[in-house]
């Protein structure tokens, strides 16, 4: 089960890193024309970001092959969510309101409960 958690963490790290690189390259840009889209899609950093996201997909395949679906998906989504919040706050200076923080806490609590339940069923 620990291997699956590590795969989930690696998946989330690669996925959020790729998305953050794309977001960084879109800073201040509004994609309204074909040329703007083409320029961003041919940007080497964006291409590398797509590669990270693609590799994250391969890692989640490995996680799914090593543990229950009802364990892998909530755990990977939870880690992905946590890393997204961290990246948004520290890299992009996104603001977190009290309501956002409470919602974040409730989502993480729900994911933990689902994961604990999945782990108990997997060991029976």
Question: Mind listing the pLDDT tens digit for each residue in 12-62?
Answer: 999 999 999 999 999 999 999 999 999 999 999 999 999 999 999 999 999
Taking only the tens place, the pLDDT of each residue in 65-94 is 999 998 899 889 989 998 999 999 999 999
Using an 8 Å Cβ cutoff, are 48 and 89 in contact? no
Using an 8 Å Cβ cutoff, are 11 and 60 in contact? yes
Q: Would you kindly state where each structural domain of the chain is located, as residue ranges?
A: 2-123
C-alpha dihedral sign at 65, 68, 72, 73 = positive
């Amino acid at each position: 089960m620990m291997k699956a958690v590590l795969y989930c963490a690696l998946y989330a790290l690669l996925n959020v890193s790729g998305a953050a690189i794309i977001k960084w390259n879109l800073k201040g840009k509004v994609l309204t024309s074909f040329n703007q889209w083409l320029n961003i899609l041919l940007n080497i950093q964006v291409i590398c970001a797509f590669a990270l996201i693609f590799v994250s997909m391969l890692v989640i395949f490995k996680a799914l092959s090593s543990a229950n679906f009802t364990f892998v998906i909530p755990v990977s989504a939870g880690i992905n969510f946590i890393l997204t919040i961290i990246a948004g706050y520290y890299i992009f200076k996104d603001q977190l309101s009290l309501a956002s923080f409470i919602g974040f806490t409730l989502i993480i609590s729900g994911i933990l409960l689902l994961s604990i339940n999945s782990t108990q069923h997997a060991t029976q």
